[in-house]
Amino acid sequence: MKTVIKVSHVSQSYGSYQVLNDISFEVYKGEILGLLGMNGAGKTTTLECLEGFLKYEGNISIDGQIAIQSQNESLPAYMKVSEAITLFSKWKKASLEPQLLKALDLLSIMNKQYQQLSTGQKRRLHLALALIGQPDILILDEPTAGLDVAGRFALHQIIRQLQKKGVTIVIASHDMNEVESLCQRIGILKQGKMVFLGTLEDFTLYMGKCYRIKVITQEGENLYTTQDVRQTLSQILDSYQKQNLEILDMNVSRGTLEQHFISMAGGIEK
């Protein structure tokens, strides 16, 4: 497997606030890697380091032409879709493949202004702009956030087609289900650390051996994932006793993949 992105011991801080803490991972040619994590885990920061937008400690090497669809992109309100495509084509000295215009369903909105587009149309336009010049590596930051089921499905299809054409893709997402349906490997970020990196099969296998423990106290709910229930339970009881925290309810279960992801990533279940 050829490595196209190699991230080695990357740390990043905003002032004294450390956002990324010694992150290392590789991305292989032609795969879709999902970066999962709760809000604030460091997904966007990791992508911005890959894109070269942020200064960091450590090393990142990238082998190929990289394109980005970031989370908060915007264009001038009155710019038409056709004008944006022309502008980006001139800037990148390349044109958008006609079949991508069709696949991204942009042909019928070429004369619409940016401000008139729906969220889904804006996302598809930004993806089109990122794809001008046929990049080898595509970085997508929550590409389906805010889209309805149909929009999400359509975008997933496009992402799969791009992978079939040999594009290597890195996707940041909150959504285990999305990542499960698109990605071959996942990296789970928690408070700036990579707490899991491997294939979906590795994750399922690892999690298959795990139990999840849910503990409710007056201060809220805590989730733990463990392979050794007896030891973890005794640690939890010890620690809560030391903190003088009364346990109101406790539950031990096998859990679904998504629930394990949530406990691992440090989130709160809905």
Ligand X SMILES: Nc1ncnc2c1ncn2[C@@H]1O[C@H](COP(=O)(O)OP(=O)(O)OP(=O)(O)O)[C@@H](O)[C@H]1O
**Applying CB under 6 A, what is the total number of residues that bind ligand X?**
12
Closer Cβ to ligand X, 122 or 214, answer by number: 122
CB of 173 to ligand X, least distance (A): 9
Q: Taking CB under 6 A as the rule, does residue 50 contact ligand X?
A: no
Question: Does position 208 bind ligand X by CB under 6 A?
Answer: no
Q: By C-beta, is 44 or 163 nearer to ligand X?
A: 44
Q: Of 12-20, 73-81, 103-111, 120-128, which part binds ligand X (CB under 6 A)?
A: 12-20
Rounded to 5 degrees, what are φ and ψ at 14? -105, 105
Which of 138, 129, 135 is CA-nearest to residue 83? 129
Q: Does 146 bind ligand X (CB under 6 A)?
A: no
In whole angstroms, how close is the CB of 11 to ligand X at the nearest point? Answer: 13
Q: How far is the CB of 176 from ligand X (least distance, A)?
A: 13
121 three-state secondary structure: helix
| DSSP codes of every residue in 196-221 | EEEEHHHHHHHHHT-EEEEEEETTEE
Applying CB under 6 A, the span of 43-51, 61-69, 220-228, 255-263 interacting with ligand X comes to: 43-51
Among 1, 16, 39, 99, binds ligand X (CB under 6 A): 39
Phi (first) and psi of residue 222, to 5 degrees: -125, 140
Min. distance of Cβ 164 from ligand X in angstroms? 28
Smallest CA-to-CA distance from 257 within 154, 170, 188 is with: 188
Cβ atoms of 197 and 25 within 8 Å: the answer is yes
Check if the beta carbon of residue 171 is closer than 8 Å to that of residue 187: no
- The one-letter amino acid code at 20 reads L
Q: Which residues bind ligand X (CB under 6 A)?
A: 14, 17, 19, 37, 39-45, 174
